[in-house]
Amino acid sequence: MPGRVPRSLKDLTQTGPARLVLRSALIGAILGCAVAVWVAVGLVPAPDLGLWVKYQVARLFATIPGLEQSQFTWAAKDGHGETFTTAQQLAESPTLRLWAAAVSESVTMASWFAVATGFWTAISVLLVGLVRPVPKRPPGKASIAKPDKQPSPRNIVLDREPAVGRSDTAEAAEVVTQPIMPFPSSPSSPSSPSLATETPAQAASEHQEPPSGTPLEHLTQLTPARLQAHYAGYWGLQELPFENTPDPKFYFPSAKHEEALHRLLYGVTTRKGAIMLTGEIGCGKSLLSRTLIQHLSSQQYDTALIANPAFAKVEELFREVAYQLGIEASGTKADMLHCLNDRLLANNQRGLDTVLIIDEAQTIRDDMIFEEIRLLLNFQLNERFLLTLVLIGQPDLKDRVTRISQLAQRIPIRYHLAPFTEDEMEQYILFRLKTAGCDHELFTKDALQLAFDHTRGVPRRINSLCDLCLLIGRMENSKAIDASTVKRASDELT
């Protein structure tokens, strides 16, 4: 704490630079004494060193009145062939004086050497301590224990095997019209381990008053990884529920998305040649493409996904198609088309259908590239297409395809994905929270209504807004997300 006065040596050695200085001096003193003993033993024999100490004590007693006649037995066998019985006799002996002077010189040399060694040792330890300072434990609570992450419950079961067959087109059309998965009307209550011991209810009881200072003040010591776990654990989540990534686990089967997925699967499984999916920005088209791929078994489909088709030349596009299919193709455009044709025929012989999915197709720069893509549909046998082309993009894609009548006529399956209604948005938020491990509602009715007014039902905007709301709610130790929190988050995102 600032301004705290150390009350003991132990207290002093645990604070700031004083700890380094005292630690360095202590280590230097210990090493210096060890060196002094080692040098002294090496320069002066142990018996002589003991006699020298005895002689120095006798000299001291000789200078003190009343002690000069103290008995100090020094037999001839102890050295120098003389026998003394008192301190005064020992001090006045010229022979012992010369002998003691020689020994003192050796002892002095050893002492200076020990002092120098201790000094430089202390300086070295101090410099090491300054270069590599001892890390300080952040104030406040101990770090949150992070248990082994448990897999979150899968609310959506995505079958890798296609639900329809290949041989009978009519039967395929009848099968894919059935719902792929049930629409969740209300979130269930999966048992989910929490990453933190503090919940919104506990926060309300333990924190009667908001912390002083700014809302971020009590989180400044947390690293980004701990901050993420802190935010998820507070709301009882196993993971962040509103990430703007195309994770099929978070695919929400709304009526619109289900119809779009039905049409995509129908077009692929019945080999219709070309399919087009368009939608507003952020409505979940990329997530639908990943969900489609997850439905296509690798034992029946050879699938290639191009996520960024903004190529300046058609050769670059064909090279990317070959790469995604695992084809080593180079040379001219004709060479790459020959390699692609060989792969399509080989897949047909192995019983595999080839599917090419082009996401963000509206970014294709030149209409001539669309014409070249159309020509890929000429890879066909008398009774079937060898390649199924899936074009996915923003509404501009529909306008560009319409201008190319030859391509537009070859796309029999189309769908335009619209934003959520208000009811669908509420179900979407509940579904995301449930998939991430939350077993109760976090957003109030007023908050959901205000969220729809801000996002207009666009999933990407919903994700960004809800993620920020959960972060703000955690910083303010809220028990739920109310309209004021949504208002604050929407103002920041505007």
Tell me the pLDDT tens digit for each residue of 372-422.
999 899 898 888 899 999 999 999 999 999 999 899 999 999 999 999 999
pLDDT tier for residue 355 given thresholds of 50, 70 and 90: very high
Q: What is the predicted pLDDT for the residue at 65?
A: 72
Q: Does 462 have pLDDT greater than 70?
A: yes
Q: Does 140 have pLDDT greater than 60?
A: no
Domain boundaries for CATH 3.40.50.300 within the chain: 271-417
pLDDT higher at 303 or 135: 303
Q: 473-489 burial by CB neighbour count: b if 16+ within 10 A, else e?
A: bbbebbeebbbebbbeb
Tokens linked to 465: 């807004």
Q: Does 319 have pLDDT greater than 50?
A: yes
Q: Which residues pair with 433 in a beta bridge?
A: none
Q: Does 271 have pLDDT greater than 80?
A: yes
pLDDT higher at 222 or 318: 318
CA distance 93 to 80: 11
**Mean pLDDT highest for which of 14-18, 227-231, 435-439?**
435-439
CATH class of this structure's domain 169-180+197-205+223-248+421-493 = mainly alpha
- pLDDT, the chain, mean: 75
What is the percent of the chain with per-residue pLDDT over 90, rounded to a whole number? 38
Domain boundaries for CATH 1.10.8.60 within the chain: 169-180+197-205+223-248+421-493
Determine which of 181-185, 212-216, 298-302 has the lowest per-residue pLDDT on average.
181-185
The whole-number average pLDDT for the span 45-73 is 69
pLDDT tier for residue 477 given thresholds of 50, 70 and 90: confident
pLDDT tier for residue 138 given thresholds of 50, 70 and 90: very low
Q: What is the predicted pLDDT for the residue at 459?
A: 95
Fold of 271-417: Rossmann fold (3.40.50)
Q: Does 76 have pLDDT greater than 90?
A: no
Tokens linked to 234: 């507070």
DSSP strand pairing (274-279 vs 413-417): parallel
pLDDT higher at 1 or 239: 239
Q: What is the predicted pLDDT for the residue at 109?
A: 74
Q: What is the predicted pLDDT for the residue at 329?
A: 78
Q: Does 365 have pLDDT greater than 90?
A: no
Q: Does 450 have pLDDT greater than 90?
A: yes
Q: What is the predicted pLDDT for the residue at 182?
A: 41
Q: Does 159 have pLDDT greater than 60?
A: no
pLDDT tier for residue 107 given thresholds of 50, 70 and 90: confident
Residue 435: how many other CB atoms lie within 10 Å: 25
